Amino acid sequence: MITLDQPLTVKELKSDVKPIWCPGCGDYGVMNSTLKAIADLQLDPAYVVIASGIGCSGRFPAFVSSYGFHGVHGRVLPLATGIKLANPELTVLAVGGDGDAFSIGAGHLPHAVRRNVDITYIVMDNEIYGLTKGQPSPTSPFGMEKKVSPYGTVDAPINPIAMVLAYGGTFVARGFSSKPQELAELIKRGIQHAGFAFIQVISPCVTFNDTYAFYKAGTAPLPPDHDPSDRMAAMRLAMQTDVHYLGVFYEEVRPPHHAQVQRIQQKAGADFSLAEVIERFRR
């Protein structure tokens, strides 16, 4: 992480582009918590890249005074992986929604996890496709009735925390946009984690799926005696349906992807860096 002597404020980290999310959208809270994490860690925004896919949350990079890349639908993880591999000095954040992450982009998730790519993946989960006016997403509850699904959904929702734990994730956490302090702490820990940090954030869509009341009543911090090095204990807590726990379910130290690539380069006697390879392809 490349840091500044003088930290920037959250206000200074915002760009001149004003967010166009609906008033009350959870994504505002996620953005403010992310900027607070960047400010608290004194990160130099010249070495921060925020990559996104498509969806309401995909607009995120435009609102921040750092580098950004608004990619195509579901491809945020290959994009972020390439950025990190090309320049491991960068702090790379990948952001997106539940449709982007768990539907069209779902095939990328297990591979980013097993490679332990050193990025922080923040999934703003509103259990619906907000940008396209409220179709059910992979995390919509069974039987959810909306304008475009008037007879109720027929598919069971996936469980993102259990899924990433099963993939072998090295940092697995859940936050809530209505708990900005706690969320900023989770994002800070995710950025500091040397490997793939997965953070599912409950981020309600006030326009098409307002779940604020449900989650304000239905969330709780992880039990204080939970051991985050115990994957099976984390899995049991993730599978609980009567309460949605918030906090770090699981964390372990494992060499990140770019370190493994550098190790292979050394082993193969490569006398050039990855940046030089990219430069050669450019010519």
Helix (H, G, I), strand (E, B) or coil at 245: strand
Please give the backbone phi and psi of residue 210, each rounded to the nearest 5 degrees, phi first: -80, 100
Site membership for ligand SF4, residue 194 (CB under 6 A): no
Q: Which residues bind Mg ion (CB under 5 A)?
A: 97-99, 126
- Calpha distance 171→251 (Å, rounded): 4
Binding residue count for ligand SF4, defined by CB under 6 A = 12
CB distance 60 to 19 below 8 Å: no
Please state the closest distance from residue 91 (CB atom) to ligand SF4, in A: 26
Site membership for ligand SF4, residue 56 (CB under 6 A): yes
Is 27 or 251 the residue whose CB approaches ligand SF4 more closely? 27
Tell which one of 121, 208, 215, 245 touches ligand SF4 (CB under 6 A): 208
Site membership for ligand SF4, residue 207 (CB under 6 A): yes
- Alpha carbon dihedral 197, 91, 22, 16, in 10-degree steps, equals 170
**Sites for ligand SF4 among residues 17-46 (CB under 6 A):** 21-22, 25, 27
CB distance 34 to 93 below 8 Å: yes
Site membership for ligand SF4, residue 63 (CB under 6 A): no
Helix, strand, coil fractions of the chain, as percent rounded to 5 = 40, 20, 40
| Binding string, residues 125-164; x marks residues near ligand SF4 by CB under 6 A | -x---xx---------------------------------
Helix (H, G, I), strand (E, B) or coil at 254: coil
Provide the binding-site residues for ligand SF4, judged by CB under 6 A.
Answer: 21-22, 25, 27, 56, 126, 130-131, 205-208
